Structure formats: structure tokens, C-alpha cells
Structure 1
Amino acid sequence: MRARRGPAVSREHEEKRRLRRDLREMRRGLPADVVAARGAALARRARELDELAEALREGPARTVAAYVSIGGEPETGALIEELRAAGVRVLLPVLLPDNDLDWAVYEGPERLVPAGWGLREPAGPRLTPEAVAGADVVLLPGVAVDRTGLRLGRGGGSYDRVLARLERSGRRTALVVLLYDDEVVDAVPAEPHDRRVHAALTPSGVHRFRH
């Protein structure tokens, strides 16, 4: 009997996998002090993004969904702490066994606890996966974005579910990916489930996309 073959993998999927590998390799080569410095620059640049500047002004009237960076990702600690200090309600993800994301309120770095895969998660009550639909701004991880706003994610599919959930909600939520400057590229491979973001925030400034 012939062995069963797995599902066919598209050319775009393979291209995405190679691009992720190359960009992650570049991130792994960044010294810790460079990652920290770029994270501080990212927090400063946040005020150049109208949606985040509005959240910082209005404080408790706003909710921002963010995430805790890992590895060589752009450092988010300074940014989420600045938002919390301004009174913004910050939601952070909690990874579920099926790779979907629940959410909990960020209550400070001392209230982050270790989780699987090197992640850190809020220790507070879980709010359900649907809680993200109440956010005014969603800050997304990624490894690249192209000039049309097409985001290349980490590859686990968690944020594909988040973006689909936000789309179903019908709410006009600002979608912003956090990246390094050289990760804003001309084009990334696209598959049918991929969705575009409204902006990218990098250490040098804001990149807006029309779609």
C-alpha cells in the first residue's frame, strides 16, 4: 500500500516559511542592548500614531490589546507600561491549548507569570477570547509587513483567529503591527486567510497603509 501523503503545501506557504526563517535569524543576531534601545524608541514613537496618542490622552476611556515580546522581537515592555501608567486598559494574550488566545488585563510587570514556549502572561482573571473585540487598538506581533499592509505573522495561527474574530465583530478596530524598520518590505507572500493591517510602528516612525 502506498503511504498517505499529507495535505499539499502551497508555494506561498513555503515562501512564507522561508521568509520567516530568514527574518527570525536576523532577530536572533541582535544584541540585547540593541533590542532594548529599539524597544525604548518604539515606545517614544507610539505618540506619533494617532490611535495610540488618543488612547494615552483619554486613558480609562480606551482599551488597547497588546502582547509581551519574546526573543529578538521588538521589545514591548516600555510601551505597554507607558499605556498602563496613562490609565489605558491594556489587554494581554493568554495562549490556550488549541493555540487560540484568551485575554487578561495587564496589571504591571510584577504580575506577569511564565507560560509555555517562553511566553509571559498576566496573572489576573481570564476574560474569554471574545474580549479582544472590545479593544480600540490591537497591537500585533509579526515578522514583516508589505507596502499594502499585508502582515506576515509568526506562523502559529493564533492571530489569524484574532483578526477573523475582529472582522466578524464589525467594529472599526485599529490594527497595528510592531516591527523593526527593515521588516517593512515591498511584498510578502499571501494566502487566502491573510489580512491587512492599518499601520506598522517601528523605531523610526509610523507606516500607514491604504486598503
Structure 2
Amino acid sequence: MDKVKLRSTIAAARAAIPEEDRHAASVEIRESLLDRPWVQMAGLVACYWSAGTEPATHGLVFALWKHGATVILPVLRPDDDLDWAVYDGPDTLAPGRFGIMEPVDTRRGVDAIRTAALVIVPALAVGRSTGVRLGRGGGSYDRTLARVGPNVPTVALLHEGELLDDIPAEPHDRPVRYAALPSGIVQVGTRRPAE
């Protein structure tokens, strides 16, 4: 299945999940992540402010911040690359491009991601064997993941059924190391994608 069709199929499946089930799944993902030592010890966490039918990150971002982590959230630049700014509570966000909430703090630049100890990214699906994530097609997070150090945990948040055997990969695709689902956190990417 090609990426366009796969995106459409997953988007339709997400839209069919009842709101209360999406909320419960997001709580399970949040609690599972917060239980991991490598999450608890991360001083600087790059995350994102979820929108629509994505697994919700609002509670996760707030919990990380309340537990003392510095949380940076993306700010979409005109070239579709991601700048970063510090989250300092729910009152420090404003709608950005496409209405997605972004921090109003000083922009830290695209390279701010290089100092993160944990990177949490959105995905529509992840390939179990390669760790390749299926995004929305803009390439913003592939550029971001290319800047992340090889030993930094990278985690994509998914609904059940979105961890697939494989994802069509292109040379610019960057894998993640973990997929976080309501049922738990799975290490992915034991096989590198074909170049």
C-alpha cells in the first residue's frame, strides 16, 4: 500500500474511534511513558501539542513540565521546518499556522532539538521492523529526527493497530526507536530501512 492510501486509511480509522476511547488511550500512553526511567530522567524533552484525532499530548506535556522537565514544543516555520520554543504552562500557548497551538516563548532555532534528552513525535503509523514512521507528508519531523543524536530515545505516539509490520520508506525517512501505544511501549527498528 502506498503512503497516500495508508494515510487515508489510518485517518479514517482514527476518526471512527469514539472520543472517550481516544481519551482513555491517551491517558494509558501518558502513564506508560511517565513510568519509564529514561522519561523521568530527561531534563529537556521535545514533544508536540496534539491536535484532532492524534493521541492527546496535553496531559503528557503538562505532567513532564510539572515534574521539572524543560519541555520544548515545535513552531512551524514558513519552510515547514520546525523551530522550538519552551512550554511554560497552558497559558503560554497561542494558535500558530493551521491553528495548532505553539509556545509564545522566544524561538530557540531548528537546532535546539540537538540538546533534547527525549524526543516525542507524532505519527500515523510506525513500521515495527524498521522504526520508520508515517507522518502527514510534509517532512517536518524527518528533518527534525535527522538532527537528533543516535542515543536519544525517540518515541512516536500511536493508537492501537497503527504499529504495522512495515511502512513504505523513502531515503529521507528517519526512524524512531520506540512506539508508545495504549497497550505499552514497544522498541522498534531492529532492521534499518532499505536505502
The equivalent of 2:157 in structure 1 is 178
The equivalent of 2:108 in structure 1 is 127
The equivalent of 1:59 in structure 2 is none
The equivalent of 2:30 in structure 1 is 43
Where in structure 2 are the equivalents of 1:1-150 lying within 5 Å?
15-55=2-42, 62-148=43-129, 149-150=131-132
Which is worse superposed, 82-91 or 23-32? 23-32
Structure with higher helix content: 1
**SS of residue matched to 2:84:** strand
1:98-128 alpha-carbon deviations (Å, 9 max, x no partner): 1011000111112111112130001111111
Deviation at 1:146, TM superposition (A): 1.3
Whole-angstrom CA distance in 2 between matches of 1:150 and 1:163: 11
Gaps in structure 1 of 5+ consecutive residues: 1-13, 56-61
Gaps in structure 2 of 5+ consecutive residues: none
- Please say which structure displays the higher CA radius of gyration: 1
Letter in 2 for 1:75: A
Whole-angstrom CA distance in 1 between matches of 2:68 and 2:52: 28
Letter in 2 for 1:194: D
The TM-score with structure 2 as length reference comes to 0.91
Whole-angstrom CA distance in 1 between matches of 2:139 and 2:171: 13
What is the RMSD computed on CA atoms of the aligned residues? 1.5
Whole-angstrom CA distance in 2 between matches of 1:49 and 1:182: 22
The TM-score with structure 1 as length reference comes to 0.85
How many residues align structurally?
Answer: 189
1:118-168 alpha-carbon deviations (Å, 9 max, x no partner): 3000111111111011001100110001112121112111011101222xx
The equivalent of 1:159 in structure 2 is 141
